[in-house]
Amino acid sequence: MAGSLYRCVGSTGETVFSGSTAGYKDCKRLGSTGSARPAKPSAVAAPVKAPVFEPVAGAPSLKGVSGSVVSAPAAASSLAGVTGSVVGAGGDAVVLPPVTAPKGSWDYRESATGDLTAAAAPESPKGSRVLRGAVYRITRADGGVEYTNIPPGGGTKGQSIKMLFTYIATCAACDVHSKIDWNSVALNLTSYGDAIHAASNEFGVDEALLRAVIHAESAFNPRALSVAGAQGLMQLIPGTARDMGVLDAFDADQNIRGGARYLALLLRNFNGNERLAAAAYNAGPGAVQKYNGVPPYDETQVYVERVGVLRKRYGETLRHRATAGVPLAERGA
């Protein structure tokens, strides 16, 4: 639920559309709505705290799991030459000034009048990707409002859907031949220590692997949102998040627990093979089963190698800290 939609710049220069400005910079409010109508008073005398996770009956299984996890851009990127406008909640166009930034790896455009999802792809360097999409505002029957870049499917009764604008971006940072040296990039040994340790114990997934996946997916940004809709620290696609019992993918504890649970299922499905589990995390378990190994997708193969390097480095460093008597990690974010 969101009362306002903001367009911000993320920690690596990416454009982020969010209902919160926390953790972002250069935020511009694009639209807002009134808060949802309050719920009717409950007859229950004492309030009951809602569970963080929905109960899941039966033994964990990959049956019915759909979607896949999309990794965040590997290299630092910036925005340049942003033009166009968006439609605010009141219907008036809000003109956004161009973003002044050093020449970087993103070329981003958005429009409230033209459909950029159908526009011709701009010329781009070899290995880059063209990312397209739209941002929608959904007003639910109960008055609640949600902003999303996932195309709403099959309208729900009493629900209003409005497309605010479309966007197109060329991402040179997504080049599978990125020059980032993952053998020397700084590791994060302190963030989310409690949540990672708890999820590791609950699902039997090594803490080093969890940190490697979080690092590869979001660089430990809990508000990360990809243009494909992957959310949070472990970049969970909404369908996968629901299957894993995650109610709020931007809640760090829930996201880590859901991602760890999904990794545990993948490891079980692929007999503990972390390389195949990482490939399935990126491309989906069906692709790994189809090719009986890491799929021949450039992005997936680069992702698997990246996770492997990070997993080895995190494992060695955490073991050294434990042997030296250094606390494994600070607890909390």
Q: Which residues belong to the active site?
A: 217
Cα distance between residue 233 and residue 235, in whole Å: 6
Greatest Cα pair distance in the chain? 64
Cα distance between residue 134 and residue 139, in whole Å: 16
Give the relative orientation of helices 274-283 and 298-323 as an angle to the nearest 10 degrees. 130
Strand partners for 236: 231
Kindly give the residue spans of alpha helices, DSSP state H, lying in the chain.
193-203, 207-218, 238-243, 252-269, 274-283, 285-291, 298-323
Q: What are phi and psi of 14, to 5 degrees?
A: -75, 155
Q: Return the SS3 of 128.
A: coil
User: Radius of gyration (Cα) for the chain, nearest Å?
Assistant: 21
Whether 89 contacts 31, CB under 8 Å: yes
